[in-house]
Amino acid sequence: MNSGFFITGTDTDVGKTWVSVALLRKFRRQGYTVAGMKPVAAGCEWRDDCLRNGDALLLQANSVPQLNYSQINPYAFAMPVSPHLACGEIQVNLAHILDQLQTIRQRADWVLVEGAGGWLSPLSSSLDNAGLAVALQLPVIMVVALRLGCLNHARLTYQAVCQQGLPCAGWVAVEIEAGRTDVHANLDYLRRHIAAPLLGVMPYQAIPDFDVLADNLSF
């Protein structure tokens, strides 16, 4: 099949990785081979003599067949700041990312590429998530964190995706705060103002149960 999606968010820490892992498990249940990829990651830690990112490790653990870490996360930086600062003198080579994606596509039916931060967040001095998504030419899935400000962030992100000429395959809402009383009202508003399907609502979980989260996805 060799299909895939680019997973973007309305901001950083909105649940992109949780959604990506839940989608990987959803596709695996349907009998597909799957792979997750996070091309650029900051805030990495030294493990087994190399820098590794926690989100990328989750994607690796839920990919079947198993892939080398360097394929899933070609650019790993230590500083917990925006990648365009964390990379220092290292150049993020778009061609290298495209090569890694092509290699992964040869082994997996579905490939999910997770961005870093929001849609226009920079990945280097010359590349942002939007530019990466355009180069990859993948349909976009937008992750919306249900919190104060989400309506503006979601509509702006959706508008920006459409302006790049990429199809938005849908959006996933994530309850990242417990006990909010405006969840249903916000969902109703966004359904009326985003012309892409709502693929699911992730319930609040302090510790993720990815099988439960996968159950909440309709794809």
Give the residue ranges of the annotated binding site for Mg(2+): 17, 55, 114
Strand partners, 7: 114, 141
Establish whether the linkage from the previous residue to 208 is cis, with ω within 30° of 0.
no
Distance CA 159, CA 193 (A): 10
Residues serving a catalytic function are 38
- If we measure between CA atoms, which residue out of 75, 96, 97, 94 comes closest to residue 86? 75
Determine contact, residues 8/46, Cβ cutoff 8 Å.
Answer: no
The two three-digit tokens of residue 161, written as one number: 């995706």
Distance CA 155, CA 133 (A): 18
Annotated binding site: 17, 55, 114-117, 174-175, 205
Q: What DSSP character marks residue 137?
A: T
Annotated binding site for ATP: 55, 114-117, 174-175, 205
Distance CA 209, CA 171 (A): 20
